[in-house]
């Protein structure tokens, strides 16, 4: 519960705590704050699943909360949309490397799930001191515009509302959308702003003359609409979304939804106070799924893995969880189960609490690597939507097998107690400390027991920090840290979004392996 309280405190700070001068600057420009814009855009009383709220929380000395960008899933005119909004209260909405990463990930979500996008544009452009981490590589700034082009080819609609400046490469964000709205006086789109034009050509020109709303809506044709206020622009964006066809959901088995029999707040009492302590994943399922019902598959075989069928808001899902390390039998059981889900068009949800695959001579002789590879092969090539929740530990190859980030779950969320790393802290700390001490010994340095302990503690503290949920979400290794009691609601929204994209079926029969 303390971790949940810390999560909410961190979220509040990232969302609302800003220097007064930055708020006053925006007010003087007659601009709304980013969350005021989003509130006006969304249908009243509907949920908004914000993504990566704590991005960059452990980067840039903490001065770029949320990576200066807000994204999330909301409802506009009864339609699910992805909202992407610059937060101009932070460095004028400038793009830092993690801002770009968050934008690329958001557009990846739109591509994977075929969900329309509304861009609320108000950005100062790239943060130039870090340009080498923003511009050149495959998944850097250019990927934003590449993803927008892919969305257009897929027939996924995009609407841009230009509320401030959209400069340099950022000018392509509204230009690549199906509809572009600009606000007079504050909105501006130009490849080079007035200072750059002056430096490059000697020409003196104001922002409005160069690329204001009236220029682009009546002269260049770069924008489609010019409006006088942000409120008018947001209303127009809602109207445009309301004229678009409604998305059709992929057909999966469904029945009436029921609330869980067991209270989701009881999850606080199920999660252990130590990452090394085990808990029964069935207790988690009972507080997430409809009526707390779970049909377990192969319950007496491969018992360190738990899998079976449940319903989430009426949709049938396949559920996989860990009750210990993965042995060959548990890996084979999960592989067989995943094939059934893929064949029968059943979305899959992974609940990770995994130390990895079992190691040792006996297990290598028994084919543990081969059996793990079978699970990876099937899981990686499934057509049905996959969702992942990091409930506790996620270590080594177990992270891969249970659909970690590299295996393209449509969404991945973490609980605040979760940890992720190539191996557990104690094992890594001992290994790294031993390597350090041997290196010092070769240099003729013999350390006391106290000095040795300090080296070990320094290594483990750094390792623990970088395996924490806060570090993970800061680096955008997940789509956000969530309160455990909200898991059902978060998964419900994520699954609904995932079903906007049709999916195929398995091309081979189920193998009993």
Q: Print burial letters for 315-343: b (CB count within 10 Å at least 16), e (below 16).
A: bbbbbbbbbbbbbbbbbbbbbbbbbebbb
Mean pLDDT of all residues in 480-509: 92
DSSP one-letter string for 187-212? -EEESS-HHHHHHHH-----HHHHHB
Cα separations (Å) of 79 from 157, 158, 161? 12, 13, 18
pLDDT digits (tens, 9 = 90+) for 181-232: 999 999 999 988 888 888 889 999 999 999 999 999 999 999 999 999 999 9
Q: Do 2-243 and 264-415+482-498 share a fold?
A: yes
What are the percentages of helix, strand and coil residues in the chain, rounded to 5? 45, 20, 35
Separation CA 127–CA 387 (nearest Å): 33
**How long, in residues, is the chain?**
513
Which of the four pLDDT bands, split at 50, 70 and 90, describes residue 48? very high
pLDDT (mean) for 251-275: 96
79/240 Cα distance (integer angstroms): 12
Q: Read off the pLDDT of residues 272-297 as tens digits, 9 standing for 90 and up.
A: 999 989 999 999 999 999 999 999 99
The mean pLDDT of 60-73, rounded to a whole number, is 98
Domain boundaries, the chain: 2-243, 264-415+482-498
Place of tokens 């994209």: 501
Whether 70 has a pLDDT exceeding 70, the answer reads yes
| CATH top class, domain 264-415+482-498 | alpha beta
Mean pLDDT across 50-64: 97
In this predicted structure, the answer to whether residue 459 has a pLDDT above a threshold of 80 is no
Query: Per CATH, the architecture of 2-243 is what?
Result: Alpha-Beta Complex (3.90)
241-245, Cβ contacts within 8 angstroms, sequence gap of 24 or more:
241/76, 241/77, 241/79, 241/81, 241/116, 241/118, 241/157, 241/159, 242/76, 242/77, 242/78, 242/79, 244/79, 244/116, 244/157
Integer CA distances (angstroms), 495 to 272, 306, 348, 386, in order: 27, 21, 10, 9
Mean pLDDT, the chain, as a whole number?
94
CB 399 within 8 A of CB 375: no
Beta partners for residue 119, in sequence order: 84, 160
In our burial notation (b when 16+ CB lie closer than 10 A, e otherwise), range 206-244 reads ebbebbbbebbbeeeebbbbbbeebeebbebbbebbeeb
Asked if 105 and 478 count as a contact pair (C-beta separation under 8 A), the reply is no
pLDDT band of residue 506 (cuts 50, 70, 90) is low
Q: How far apart are CA 373 and CA 72, in angstroms?
A: 34
Distance CA 218, CA 211 (A): 11
Reduce the secondary structure of 268-297 to three states and give it as a string. HHHCCCCCCCCCCHHHHHCCCCHHHCCEEC
Three-class SS state of 231: helix
Question: How many percent of the chain have pLDDT more than 90?
Answer: 83
Most confidently modeled range among 15-19, 199-203, 362-366, 508-512: 15-19
Q: How far apart are CA 153 and CA 276, in angstroms?
A: 48
- Cα separation, 394 vs 228, in Å, equals 51
The pLDDT value recorded for residue 425 is 66
Give the residue from 315, 321, 368, 275 showing the smallest Cα distance to 494.
315
């Amino acid at each position: 519960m303390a971790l949940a309280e810390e999560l909410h405190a961190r979220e509040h700070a990232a969302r609302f705590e800003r220097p007064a001068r930055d708020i006053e600057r925006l007010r003087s420009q007659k601009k709304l704050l980013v969350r005021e814009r989003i509130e006006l855009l969304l249908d009243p009383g509907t949920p908004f699943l914000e993504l990566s709220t704590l991005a960059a929380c452990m980067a840039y000395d903490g001065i770029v909360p949320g990576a200066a960008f807000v994204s999330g899933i909301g409802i506009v005119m009864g339609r699910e949309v992805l909202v992407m909004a610059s937060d101009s209260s932070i460095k004028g909405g400038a793009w830092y490397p993690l801002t770009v990463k968050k934008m690329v990930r958001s557009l990846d979500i739109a591509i994977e799930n075929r969900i329309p996008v509304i861009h609320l544009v108000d950005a100062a452009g790239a943060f130039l001191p870090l340009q080498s981490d923003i511009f050149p590589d495959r998944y850097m700034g250019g990927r934003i515009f590449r993803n927008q082009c892919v969305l257009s080819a897929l027939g996924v609609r995009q609407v841009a509302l230009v509320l401030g400046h959209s400069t340099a490469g950022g000018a392509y964000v509204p230009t690549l959308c199906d509809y572009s709205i600009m606000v007079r006086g504050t909105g501006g789109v130009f490849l080079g702003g007035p200072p750059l034009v002056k430096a490059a050509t000697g020409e003196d020109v104001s922002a409005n003359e160069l690329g204001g709303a009236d220029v682009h809506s009546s002269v260049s044709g770069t924008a489609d609409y010019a409006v006088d206020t942000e409120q008018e622009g947001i209303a127009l964006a809602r109207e445009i979304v309301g004229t678009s066809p409604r998305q059709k959901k992929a057909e999966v088995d469904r029945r009436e939804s029921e609330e869980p029999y067991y209270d989701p707040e009881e999850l606080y009492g199920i999660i252990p106070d130590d990452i090394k302590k085990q808990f029964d994943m069935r207790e988690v399922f009972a507080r997430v799924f409809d009526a707390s019902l779970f049909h377990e598959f192969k319950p007496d075989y491969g018992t360190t893995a738990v899998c079976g069928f449940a319903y989430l808001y009426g949709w049938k899902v396949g559920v996989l969880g860990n009750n210990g390390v993965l042995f060959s039998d548990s890996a084979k059981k999960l592989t067989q189960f995943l094939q059934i889900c893929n064949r029968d068009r059943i979305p899959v949800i992974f609940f990770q609490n995994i130390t990895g695959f079992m190691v040792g001579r006996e297990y290598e002789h028994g084919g543990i690597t081969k059996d793990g590879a079978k699970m990876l092969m099937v899981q990686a090539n499934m057509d049905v939507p996959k969702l992942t929740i990091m409930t506790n530990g996620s270590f080594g190859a177990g992270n891969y097998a249970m659909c970690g980030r590299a295996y393209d779950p449509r969404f991945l969320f973490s609980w605040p107690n979760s940890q992720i790393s190539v191996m557990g802290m104690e094992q890594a700390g001992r290994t790294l400390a031993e390597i350090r001490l041997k290196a010092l010994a070769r240099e003729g340095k013999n350390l006391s027991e106290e000095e040795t302990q300090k080296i070990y503690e320094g290594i483990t503290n750094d390792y623990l920090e970088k395996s924490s949920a806060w570090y993970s979400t800061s680096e955008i290794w997940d789509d956000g840290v969530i309160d455990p009691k909200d898991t059902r609601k978060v998964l419900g929204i994520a699954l609904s979004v995932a079903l906007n994209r049709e999916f195929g079926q398995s091309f081979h029969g189920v193998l009993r392996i």
